[in-house]
Structure 1
Amino acid sequence: MAHLSRFLPSRRDYDGLRSSWKTDLLAGITVGIVALPLALAFGVSSGVGAEAGLITAVVAGLVAAVMGGSHVQVSGPTGAMVVVLAPVVATHGVGSIALVSLIAGLLVAILGISGLGRAVAFIPWPVVEGFTLGIAAIIFLQQVPMATGTAGIPGHNTLLAAVESASQATLPAVLQTLGVVVGVAAVMLLLPKLNKALPASLVAVLLATVAAELLQLDIPRIGALPHSLSAPSMPSLDPAALGGLLMPAVSIAILAAIESLLSARVAAGLVGPDGRPSGAYSPDRELMGQGLASVAAGFFGGMPATGAIARTAVNVRSGAKTRLAAIVHALVLLAIIYLAAGLVGKIPLAVLAGILMVTATRMVSRHTVTAIMRSTRADAFVFILTALITVAFDLIVAIEIGLVAAALFTLRKFATLSSVKREEIPGPHEEGDEHIALFRLDGAMFFGAAERVLQEISQVRDIQVAIIRLSQVRMLDATGAHMLVEVISALELRGVTVLLKGVQPQHLELVTNVGVIRSLRHHKHLFTSLPEAVEHARSHVLRNAAANA
């Protein structure tokens, strides 16, 4: 019970509400206005529909605000989720999304309960940014059908689908839709330079919709929307289709967990109008809240949701301090459903395409790309590789390959920091010292460096005693310990006595279990000080000289 209580709402979630409720209220209204066109656009772009996007923003946004682990996170449909959902809709149909949302939500909640929330900290920055760049490219390409007034072509390769949709565009309809897209983009890019307080995306929606009505443009619109939320119901469960939906649900759950935690982590460092960061968050509770949010959205016919960094950033910069702001954002959208659904249905789809195209171009800043490309060749390669695989293949595969590539470069770096050096015997030279080799192992002795160390030590010739210093070894794994066994065995077979000096206390159990001590000629060939080891080595050389005399 004590463990589960960490995931439940408490009065501490609203500390400071008495002093911040006014700014929280205003921030929630602002975010709700900003979230409206995005919710509609992401719903349409995913193939589920504007209704599902709006329902998700309301239901998931409310549940995540109450149950999540961040006080300022705003949740709802996002661009990354659209990229994953579009092929699922194309393959299994719109009716499958509610069930997928339910399954994925349960998986995310289980990840939270199991305490895996902090695992996101192990994802390297170039992988995250490469993943984000790839998503941005896919989101931009997915808008081509709406921007050209053509029907979307189902397919997993977004680039080819965009090219084929553009080739089917006809005059004069394409000029009208492209004109709307350009007009929306111009408003969103220029309005913030004139007045940052105005919600550029909402102003663009209003102006473009009014213009389309006055000019009587014959272009596709959102269409009819419900005037109320439908009653929650259990998604239809088809055992035959369940097997085909399981893997997409797993991919969606992984993506939802990663995106939500990354958004919450970024939000914790964002600074509000008062110059203070928004504060800490609970990763495990955040996963639990996001999982429950997707489950709730599935019951209402919505789509999977995640934390949305763009809306969260607007929330923080608008002065939000408690969960009230995210709750108000959901209530604002709910009011729009009941009061303005008819007006929203008249919005041209090209308007949503323009909003998402501009949003996609803002997802990764030029400064970030420049910083990564100028960092190291390995990081730049991982960044580009992750982005290309995201566009060409699959989001989850991109993260996996990006992590593997980053890990390989890191291991390579560790391996270069590991070295074996032959040193001079300290003190005055004595007769027979030329038959003693003193080696010092530095850095990390692990599977990435073991083979090279083995080769360098084994190549030494014309010695009778080898002293191997281990006091500078900071990391040792089973492969590194086994390497020591092979080095000792190879030298002993050649008649070379091996002495070990300075085994770290934290490594003693490992070297004992792997058999390093057992491979020595005598258990007393393990020393804690270098003078003792050198003295013992000289005694061996003297005995060998006497025996050969």
Structure 2
Amino acid sequence: MSAAQTSRPDRATGTARARMARFLPSRRDYGLLRSAWKTDLFAGITVGIVALPLALAFGVSSGVGAEAGLITAVVAGLVAAVMGGSNVQVSGPTGAMVVVLAPVVAAHGVGSIALVSVLAGLIVMILGVSGLGRAVAFIPWPVVEGFTLGIAAIIFLQQVPLATGTEATPGHNTFLAAVESASQATVPAVLQTLAVVAGVAAVMYLLPKLSKALPASLIAVLLATVAAEVLALDIPRIGALPHSLPAPSMPSLDPGALGGLLMPAVSIATLAAIESLLSARVASGMAGPDGRPSGAYSPDRELTGQGLASIAAGFFGGMPATGAIARTAVNVRSGAKTRLAAMVHALVLLAIIYLAAGLVGRIPLAALAGILMVTATRMVSRHTVTAILRSTRADAAVFVITAFITVAFDLIVAIQIGFAAAAVFTLRTFASLSGVRREAVPEPTLPGDEHIAIFRLDGAMFFGAAERVLQEIGQVKDIQVAIIRLSQLRMLDATGAHALVEVISALELRGVTVLLKGVQPQHLELVTNVGVIRSLRHHKHLFTSLPDAVQHARSHVLRNAAASA
């Protein structure tokens, strides 16, 4: 075997190792640890305190339970911190995931969530390994914001049963379930729960005005719990929580139920990938206390890390996890620079499980409802909504459609319809900017120039504009030579090239000689393969300069005049 043949497997092995290394932890992840460990430690403790009530609330709201929410924040938060693609991303249960999980719990039971978490995690990992992490950059802004508005509305409506002390009807539309729960509320229970919700909301809105350093959500929960205990309020509580982390185990696999869980797993994986990547992208440009951005991130590694996090959470009886923008923002603003902060956040929650599970179990569910209601209102920026609605009609329509579909039907369907609507409006805009213009024959004018027509194609010649261009050129009459200028054509696809073939063929059948001018180098192969050049009467009817094309056109007119004399 030659040296060259021997080196090929070595190069292939080296390439495979390099690709694999992109998804694995490295020293670069902790390059700033020596100088930033104290700040990271403080940031991690801060995020852990903020994450506690959110983890409990999201667990309860999804129907899986507060225990699952807390376990997910610990296990998934730790795994994603080590394996994810961002140095500052904090992962755990999120509001968007709650919206998807609640119908799954209603349809398949709480026991199905661990298996769904593992399945969704595997799908997210596949997305990361296959290099689809950067696809999130192609999601239009109005779709993302409409999606966010819809999620915020659903999260708010999901809290109505807890806020009124009633039971939600499984499987119902969120809005209808909220209305039904509110109608079933009874006095004095509803007054007590609403008072707790109002108190939590007041603390969360007013306390940051006094000091932004104080964890408003945690203080609100503590005050609500103390008030409920002192006043002996008869309202639902979280209930008993485990005093330790459960041992990992493989989720029970029921082949009969697997088919019914596959599509929910795909939806959850899609949502987890989108939310995690959007959160990481926002965090990468977010400035910390020193005014510096948190730095770049790896989209593909972020997906593999989040996939592993959901798988690990499923093994411990948790729920699917994603990158959480609220906790990530707190992490960045607290000065986090490395992954140590996210790890500390998970360890703080783990310590609470072991040391304060009994106290946490006394928290009123209405307090968690209040936290999520405030969180939902903060998810939507009034300035952002105003900016989109004032932008263009197309973008405003995409925003409204996405938000409505999210609330009325399904999250993934909303993204699909929103993306499709944005694509349709964008193509319509491209088509309106594209067209054909007839130009005058350059001076000095000569006899016979009235039989020459010069057409300039502008913008994009693609499937959305080709038919209109074909009709406009085909309507021209009383000409002997048509010069079609392609030098201003920015985009050309196969449909557009085929339309050119049809235009040339139709004109040639009418006895009109067609000359092409200015075929751009990037379009030459396409027009050749589709048959544009072959449809010309002569291969020399292809020109690079307009004067040459006009001179050739005039020679045709003179020849026709001589022949008819």
Runs of 4 or more consecutive aligned structure 1 residues displaced over 6 Å after TM superposition: none
Amino acid at match of 1:304: P
- For 2:400 and 2:487, how far apart are their aligned partners in 1? 40
Tell me which of 437, 458, 461 is aligned to 1:445. Answer: 461
Q: Distance in 1 between matches of 2:211 and 2:550?
A: 77
AA partner of residue 247 (structure 2): A
Which residue number corresponds to residue 166 of structure 1? 182
**Matched AA of 1:80:** A
What's 2:258 paired with?
242
Alignment of 1:192-211 (within 5 A): 192-211=208-227
Equivalent in the alignment of 1:511:
527
SS of the aligned residue for 1:524 comes to: coil
Within 5 Å, give how 1:420-435 maps onto structure 2: 420-435=436-451
Give how far 1:26 is off: 0.2
Q: In structure 2, what is the equivalent of residue 153 of structure 1?
A: 169
Letter of the aligned partner of 2:264 in structure 1? P
Q: Does 1:342 align with 2:342?
A: no
String of CA shifts for 1:2-39, please: whole Å, max 9, x gaps.
Answer: 10111000111001111100000000000000000000
Q: Distance in 2 between matches of 1:156 and 1:82?
A: 15
Who is 1:308 aligned against?
Answer: 324
Check if 1:320 corresponds to 2:336: yes
Residue in structure 2 matching 1:28, options 44, 54, 61:
44
SS at match of 2:436: strand
User: What is the CA-CA distance between 1:75 and the residue it aligns to?
Assistant: 0.2
Counterpart code for 2:143: V
2:134 aligns to what?
118
Give the number of equivalent residue pairs: 549
Q: Decide which of 527, 537, 540 is 2:553's aligned counterpart.
A: 537
Post-superposition Cα deviations, 1:479-517, rounded to whole Å, max 9, x if no partner, equal: 110110010011111111100011001101000111101
Q: In structure 1, give the amino acid aligned to 2:535.
A: S
- Give the structure 2 partner of residue 292 of structure 1: 308
Alignment TM-score, normalising by the size of structure 1: 1.00
**Map of 1:17-96 to 2, 5 A cutoff?**
17-96=33-112
CA distance in 2 between partners of 1:367 and 1:29 (Å)? 32
SS at match of 1:295: helix
Secondary structure of the 1:442 match is: strand
Measured in 2, the distance between the counterparts of 1:376 and 1:542 equals 52
2:475: which partner in 1?
459
Cα distance between partner residues in 1 of 2:484 and 2:286: 51
Match of 2:249 in 1: 233
- 3-state SS, counterpart of residue 446 of structure 2: coil
Of 29, 36, 39, which aligns to 1:13?
Answer: 29
The letter of the residue matching 2:290 is D
- Please identify, of 368-377 and 98-107, the stretch whose mean Cα deviation from structure 2 is larger: 368-377
* Deviation sequence 1:427-482 (CA, Å, 0-9, x none): 20011000000111111111111011001000000000000000010110001101
Give the Cα–Cα distance (whole angstroms) in 2 for the partners of residues 111 and 6 of structure 1.
Answer: 14
In the alignment, which residue of structure 2 is the partner of 1:138? 154
Determine helix, strand or coil for the equivalent of 1:516.
coil
RMSD: 0.5
Matched, 1:417 2:433: yes
Pair 1:528 & 2:535 matched = no
SS in 2 for 1:437: strand
User: Structure 1 CA distance, aligned partners of 2:406 and 2:552?
Assistant: 60
Per-residue CA distance 1:36-90 (angstroms, 9 max, x = gap): 0000000000000000000000000000000000000000000000000000000
For the residues of structure 1 that align with 2:363 and 2:272, how far apart are their CA atoms?
29
1:465-504 to 2 correspondences below 5 Å? 465-504=481-520
**Which residue in 2 is equivalent to 1:273?**
289
Name which of 348, 353, 362 aligns with 1:332.
348
- Report the 3-state secondary structure (helix = DSSP H, G, I; strand = E; otherwise coil) of the residue aligned with 1:444: strand
Which ranges in structure 2 are unaligned for 5 or more consecutive residues?
1-16
CA distance in 2, matches of 1:186, 1:16: 39
Output the amino acid matched with 1:316: V
1: CA distance, partners of 2:207 / 2:548: 78
Name the TM-score, length of structure 2 as normaliser: 0.97
How far, CA to CA, are the matches of 1:250 and 1:16 in structure 2?
A: 37
Q: Deviations over 1:298-336 (max 9, x none)?
A: 000000000000000000000000000000000000000
- Whichever residue aligns with residue 393 of structure 1, its letter is F
CA distance in 1, matches of 2:465, 2:141: 25
**Residue 523 of structure 1: SS of its match in structure 2?**
coil
Match of 2:11 in 1: none
How far has the Cα of 1:156 moved from its partner?
4.2
Q: Deviations over 1:376-430 (max 9, x none)?
A: 1111111111000000000000000100111111111111111211101112001
Cα distance in 1 between the residues matched to 2:452 and 2:366? 80
Output the CA distance in 2 between the equivalents of 1:478 and 1:196.
57
Indicate the residue corresponding to 1:375 in structure 2: 391
Matched letter for residue 109 of structure 1:
M
Which moves more between the two structures, 411-420 or 294-303? 411-420
- The CA deviation string for residues 231-270 of structure 1, in whole angstroms up to 9 with x for no partner, is 1000000000000000000000000000000000000011
Deviations 1:262-305 (A, max 9, x none): 00000001110001000000000000000000000000000000
Matches within 5 A, 1:386-405: 386-405=402-421
Aligned residue identity for 1:131: F
Counterpart Cα distance in 2 of 1:441 and 1:270: 44
Paired with 1:446 and 1:481, the residues of 2 have a C-alpha distance of 8
The one-letter amino acid of 2:456's match is R
Distance (whole Å) between structure 2 residues aligned to residue 269 and residue 516 of structure 1:
47
Look up the equivalent residue of 2:101 and give its one-letter code.
L
Separation in structure 1 between the aligned mates of residue 101 and residue 421 of structure 2, nearest angstrom: 26
Alignment-mate amino acid for residue 145 of structure 2? E
Once residues 171 and 256 of structure 2 are traced to their aligned partners in structure 1, the CA distance between those partners, rounded to angstroms, is 23
Q: Which amino acid aligns with 2:95?
A: G
Amino acid at match of 1:385: I
Look up the equivalent residue of 2:127 and give its one-letter code: L
- Aligned pair in 2 of structure 1 residues 370, 295: CA closer, same or farther (>3 Å)? same
Q: Deviations over 1:119-145 (max 9, x none)?
A: 000001100000000000000000000
